[in-house]
Structure 1
Amino acid sequence: MIINHDFRIVFLHIPKCAGTAVRRPLESLNQWQEAGPPWRRAHPDLGVVDYAHLPLAVLRTHFPDAFASVVDYRAFALVRDPYSRFASSVSERIRWGEGALLAKLSRAELKKSLDESIDYLSRQPSSSCCLPLGYIHFQRQRDYIVLDNAPLVDAVYPVERVAQLREEVNACIGTAKPKMAECAASQQHANAALMYRNEGLRRVHRVVGPLTARLRRLLPASASKRMDRWMYVHRDQCARSLFDSEYVRDFVSSYYADDLDLYARVARM
């Protein structure tokens, strides 16, 4: 989360909603003294938390000054289609929680992590206001927008309209500070999840990986990028049928029912 008192703006970074591409350009304007890079740090009551992704209920209880800024200032947030967001959340749990690269997992290993995520979330009380650090990327989007059934965030945009959010933030900043520039594609997809193009390629690379790493040091950057394009594809292309399976969509439809309504409403605006 970013707070700037001079311009009276707040950006609430909902996890896995393209917020990194917005938060990073705004970090130089952050005046929230309790938080900033590195965003994962210890709190005396909460333990280690991700200060970038604090739901409203947590802000109200543990960070009353920051919560007051959300209420009083112009507050911004991005929301995302819950089905695609859930797939991204599973990838993030693998990266942070299991310390593994998604590309190194087989489809069976990915399914195992997916099923574990569903099982864990299904056992959480519906009244839980904040998931633990390892699962914070699964936090409902509504928890960053609505509190006690009252919407507190003024400007909520779907990720497809991030340019509009950027324009409104720039209007709030005015001419006193450098404008929030459009992020390059590499920044917007900094957290993109890649997997091997097929299982056979994954197995072969396990054997020849050390040789490939040495070869890359001799190749120009353009050749190395061509090698990556041949070897990897985005997670959605490789595992779409897994995340589109009936039991996964049924879970998302139930667990994120409020988020589906929120996203549909915002997308229509």
Structure 2
Amino acid sequence: MHIPKTAGIFIRRSLADDRRFAGIRTIEGLGERDTAHLPLRLVSEHFPADFAKFSRYRSYASIRDPGARFVSSVAEHIKQFRKVPKEQVSDAMIIEVAREIVAHLPSDKPQYAHFLPQVEFVELGGRRVVTDLYAFSNLEAMVAAMEAYTGKPMDRQPKNVADKALHPALHRGWRKVRSVAPWAAPLGRSRLARKLFVRRNEVELPKDLKDFIDNFYAADIALHREVLNAAATTGEKVAC
């Protein structure tokens, strides 16, 4: 199940990707929706045949810390809908835009799809639909389980570039280096380079936004805690 900002693109690209569910499209009776990020209630109502199949299949999802996911979602929103390059996104911008966004939530509009609660992608009417849940911090275990079940090798290193950006003061210089010395590109993936990246999910949020997360994502917080407890007990997943 592709939950926004939980390595869904990485999983989709590693497996067969149904292109009917990709990008912002118009759905009859719904209008414009982000079809890559449809919660179960919309899938069940508007794609009943697909939902019936999904309900019978073994399914997987990763559950992420709601606070880190929220910050990541804001950064993605700024990049995708406000067209600001990720290297120009500051902590102050994330906080400012976050305050604007929360005034519109909850919403099914495509520009707010990344802010849908994670529980809406794994549960429907109080029933757990997704069979296997893993902590986002334990993606390696989920990938191993999916490989074992499908027999299909998968990429072991998801590239979640939306969550990180080169420090703004270094970005322009690095682009110049790459333009005159293309052989230097692999250095951008080195251990040293990782130290120069700013992790967007490490933004320190003010109290009003923390309070919003605690309330709006209360069910997600409980779900994330459940998955972490299961990982600590069994070493892997929540099986439903």
Larger radius of gyration: 1
Q: Which residue of 2 aligns with 1:35?
A: 20
Q: Post-superposition shift, 1:68? A: 0.4
Percent of aligned pairs sharing the same letter? 28
Structure 1 residues 117 and 218: CA distance shift in structure 2, 3 A: same
The residue aligned with 1:191 is 162
* Match status 1:247 vs 2:212: no
Give the conservation status (yes or no) of the 8 Å contact 1:41–1:49.
yes
User: Which protein, 1 or 2, shows the higher relative CO under an 8 Å CA cutoff with sep ≥ 6?
Assistant: 2
- Contact 1:21-1:183 within 8 A present in 2 as well: no
The Cα offsets for residues 55-87 of structure 1, whole Å up to 9 and x where unpaired, read as 010011100011101211112111101011011
TM-score by length of structure 1 reads: 0.74
Specify whether residues 107 and 153 from structure 1 end up closer, same or farther in structure 2 by C-alpha distance, changes over 3 A only: closer
> CA-atom RMSD, angstroms?
2.7
Q: Secondary structure at the match of 2:220?
A: helix
3-state SS in 2 of match to 1:78: strand
Q: Would you say the 8 A contact 2:75–2:163 is kept in 1? A: no
CA change 1:228–1:155 in 2 (3 A) is closer
Separation in 1 of the partners of 2:197 and 2:225?
Answer: 32
Match of 2:153 among 180, 203, 223: 180
Which one of the candidate residues 100, 113, 121 is aligned to 1:144? 121
Among residues 43, 62, 76, which one is paired with 1:78 in the alignment? 62
The yes-or-no answer on 1:25 pairing with 2:14 is: yes
Provide, for residues 168-222 of structure 1, a one-character-per-residue CA deviation record: whole Å limited to 9, x for no partner.
2223324xxxx232333xx43233331536xxx38xx7xxx5x875554112442
Whole-angstrom CA distance in 1 between matches of 2:66 and 2:35 = 22
Of 68, 73, 82, which aligns to 1:98? 82
Please tell me the residue identity of whatever aligns with 2:49.
Answer: D
Aligned residues: 227
Distance 2:154 2:83 in 1: 32
Output the CA distance in 1 between the equivalents of 2:103 and 2:40.
Answer: 25
Length-normalised TM-score, structure 2: 0.82
Shift of 1:265: 0.6
Q: Do the aligned partners of 1:195 and 1:235 also contact (CA within 8 Å) in 2?
A: no
8 Å Cα contact 1:91/1:193 also seen in 2: no
Distance 2:58 2:174 in 1: 50
Q: Of residues 198, 220, 235 in structure 1, which corresponds to 2:200? A: 235
How far apart are the structure 1 equivalents of 2:47 and 2:177? 51
Q: Gaps (5+ residues) in structure 2?
A: 231-240
Per the TM alignment, residue 231 of structure 1 is displaced from its structure 2 partner at its CA by 6.5
Secondary structure (helix, strand or coil) at the match of 1:188 reads coil
For structure 1, the residue ranges without an aligned partner over 5 or more in a row are 1-11, 125-129
The residue aligned with 1:171 is: 148
